[in-house]
Structure 1
Amino acid sequence: MQLNKFTDYALRILMYVARPNDVPYTIADIAQDLHVSQNHLVKIVHFMAKQEWIITTRGKGGGLKLNPKTLDFKLGTIVRILQGDHQIVECHTPPCVLRAHCGLKGILDQALQQFYQSLDQYRLKDVLNTPASHSAIAFLTL
């Protein structure tokens, strides 16, 4: 499963704006720090504002910040919404001649569900603070 760029950038933006800041973040600052075009970020930010994951303010001193409720959202839910109705295998366009005798789509659909279930074990707040000690402990236990 590969995340599309929209999802990738959206997750990065959520993590970026979750960091404490005295003033709202601006798209220009985010674009510069994440090395992504402002035009692309505008579309993503607009989408996330409609989802109420972020709060945007226009005008002087405006910008965006994370809606605190978003920290408790499951990662699987966030990724499902961002990815949209993404099928790993499309059997209908163009029509696949193997459809009648193929079990691959069912297996891949099941794998996709397991992917999302795995992500649902974590919330956005779980990916924000990964202490160095976790990686050191994991390394020592190998």
Structure 2
Amino acid sequence: MRLTSFTDFGLRVLMGMASTPDRPFTTAELAEEFRISRNHLAKVISSLSAAGYLETRRGGGGGAVLARRPEEILLGDVVAYLEADQALVECFLSGSAACTLAPHCRLKARRAAAETAFIADRNRSSLAECVYPPLNV
């Protein structure tokens, strides 16, 4: 399974923030550390916040902090959330009629099982097991 850059950035942000979980990080700091677009990273942080992985604070001393302990954040759940709008293949899209093999396709169930197994395997690890070294920000 191939992950989108959006998910990759989300995982990087969480791993970096887990190194000092009580410290607020600004989008600008994280974008510089990971050498990615500040605007794109703002969308990633917004999504992680909406999922309850981050809390964001405005103003002086503001930024984003982990909303849960790293031990409580399962990697598979993060991947599943961030990849929710990304179909593995076109036939997984709701309402898609592009598959010429449907309704006789035997591959779709196997692909779905592989995706489920991938997420389950990622859920064997928590964010705490993948802490990035302290960020240089």
Shorter-chain TM band = 0.7 to 0.9
Whether the aligned pair in 2 keeps the contact of 1:49 and 1:56 (CA below 8 Å) is yes
Match of residue 61 from structure 1:
61
Tell me the alpha carbon deviations over residues 111-136 of structure 1, each in whole angstroms, 9 at most, x when there is no partner.
11111111111111111179xxxxxx
Match of 2:130 among 121, 127, 132: 127
Match of residue 99 from structure 1:
102
Match of 1:112 among 110, 115, 123: 115
Structure with the higher helix share, 1 or 2: 1
Identity percentage of aligned residues: 34
Structural mapping, 1:37-52, within 5 Å: 37-52=37-52
Match of residue 35 from structure 1:
35
How many residues are matched?
Answer: 130
So what's the TM-score if we normalise by structure 1?
0.80
Question: Kindly tell me: are residues 99 and 125 of structure 1, through their superposed partners in 2, closer, same or farther at Cα, counting changes over 3 Å?
Answer: same
Whether the aligned pair in 1 keeps the contact of 2:21 and 2:69 (CA below 8 Å) is no
Gaps of 5+ in 2: none
Amino acid at match of 2:24: P
SS of the equivalent of 1:13 reads: helix
Gaps of 5+ in 1: 131-142
CA shift, 1:23, in A, is 4.7
Measured on the aligned residues, the alpha-carbon RMSD in Å equals 2.2
Between 107-116 and 54-63, report the one with greater CA deviation. 54-63
CA shift, 1:87, in A, is 2.8
Match of residue 6 from structure 2:
6
Question: Kindly tell me: are residues 18 and 90 of structure 1, through their superposed partners in 2, closer, same or farther at Cα, counting changes over 3 Å?
Answer: same
Whether the aligned pair in 1 keeps the contact of 2:6 and 2:82 (CA below 8 Å) is yes
* Structure 2 residue 74 is the aligned partner of structure 1 residue 71: no
Tell me the alpha carbon deviations over residues 45-100 of structure 1, each in whole angstroms, 9 at most, x when there is no partner.
11212222112111112112212335312211111111114332223635222123
So what's the TM-score if we normalise by structure 2?
0.83
SS of the equivalent of 1:101 reads: coil
Tell me which structure has the larger Cα radius of gyration: 1
